[in-house]
Structure 1
Amino acid sequence: MPKGYLEHANISVTDPERSAALLIDLLGWHERWRGPSMNSGRSIHIGSEVDYLALYTIEHVSGDFATGHPLNHIAFVVDDLSAAEEVVKGHGLEPFGHDDYDPGRRFYFFDWDGIEFEVVNYD
């Protein structure tokens, strides 16, 4: 049976630079690439050596995405949940849904475009 892993997800955002700054601060990721993308759009790839998020924008991207259509949320694992929450707040975003159940503690937040993120710690 083949085995694999998630290499990247491509999401549309209104301001890739702003979203990239959040992910760099929150996860310690780095910019892997930036440049022109399909349909005259532009993208910034932010991630680690093995995985990343492609932050795509084009003129018609307006944000205000509805959770669950079709994406529910994107989740990140961090080594310090409290520090991660301070980063999210420092970017002017509001954490919510704090919970502690097996297998870990977590909180959620919406970015400026209405995309929901989960941040979890398994310690």
Structure 2
Amino acid sequence: MNFRTAATLEHANLTVRNPTRTARLMCHLFDWHIRWEGAAMAGGRTVHVGSEDSYLALYTLEGEATDPDIFAKGRPLNHVGVLVHDLDGVEARVKAAGLTPFSHGDYEPGRRFYFLDHDGIEFEVVCYG
């Protein structure tokens, strides 16, 4: 594969109950920063959190934030994968945030674990090498 012509994921847009709370968690866990926040185009509120190259758009629309059917694993999102350089350090941060890491695995070419954020969104944290 020619990596110079491969597409790069720029962002994913996730519906969350509280964009500010989720953005703060992502900043704490992954050393990301808030790139932008404000009113969403179709109403509601959005916070963009990530690095200079990619980010998560964290969105809520009034009323959606209290709908329990929106926040169910696998509907429609299974998980978000985040590549880190210090898996053990991030796991310690996840625990310090009161969240529970699970499904640890060593596989070729790396290691991983998962956790659910405050909205039940599953994150896979991966370290290669």
Same-fold call, TM cutoff 0.5: yes
User: How far off is 1:63 after superposition?
Assistant: 6.5
Change (3 A) 1:27 1:63: farther
Within the alignment, does 1:37 sit opposite 2:40 as a pair?
A: yes
Within the alignment, does 1:22 sit opposite 2:46 as a pair?
A: no
Percentage of identical aligned residues: 54
C-alpha distance after superposition, 1:68-109 (max 9, x if no partner) = 222110010111111101111111111111111112111000
Please list every run of 5 or more consecutive structure 2 residues that lacks an aligned counterpart in the other structure.
none
Deviates more, 1:113-122 or 1:62-71: 62-71
Q: 1:61 aligns with which of 50, 62, 65?
A: 65
Please list every run of 5 or more consecutive structure 1 residues that lacks an aligned counterpart in the other structure.
none
Runs of 4+ in 1 over 3 A off after TM superposition: none
Please provide the CA RMSD for this pair. Answer: 1.6
C-alpha separation in 1, matches of 2:88 and 2:67: 28
User: How far off is 1:18 after superposition?
Assistant: 1.2
Within the alignment, does 1:110 sit opposite 2:90 as a pair?
A: no
Contact 1:14 1:63 in 2 (8 A): no
